[in-house]
Amino acid sequence: MSHTRVKTTYSAEGPYASTETKELYCHHNNIVDSVVFYSAAEEESEDVMVMVFDEWESGNDLWDAMQRLWFPYKEKWGGELKDNVEHYLKKDKNKI
């Protein structure tokens, strides 16, 4: 099976109008063309990310993070990753 697992960070509003840095994970199942977003790595949580789009930090909010992960490569699929995007390994399989 062909999978692409990528993650990025984004800024969100925290307590007392502070800024928190959070991680967003994305699992592309390339065989069936499905994409799932997680707020934690898959092996840590079965919960799919709840998407609430608040504009907090221009260019780096949840919507921007989702867009980075939806199309994680600069040009063609499998090429160089966009800035602030990286692959992550599924711990129990040790595979991308």
pLDDT per residue as tens digits for the range 39-88:
765 556 666 656 777 777 888 988 999 999 999 999 999 899 999 999 98
Long-range contacts of 45-49 (CB under 8 A, 24+ apart): 49/24
User: What φ, ψ does residue 89 adopt, rounded to 5°?
Assistant: -100, 140
Rounded to whole angstroms, what are the CA distances from 11 to 19, 25, 56, 80?
6, 14, 7, 24
Identity at 70, one-letter amino acid code = W
Flag whether pLDDT at 92 surpasses 50. no
Task: Give the tens place of pLDDT for each residue, 2-48.
Answer: 889 999 999 988 899 999 999 998 989 888 878 888 876 555 666 66
pLDDT for res 43: 54
Q: pTM of the full predicted structure?
A: 0.74
Query: Rounded CA gap, 36 and 50, in Å?
Result: 11
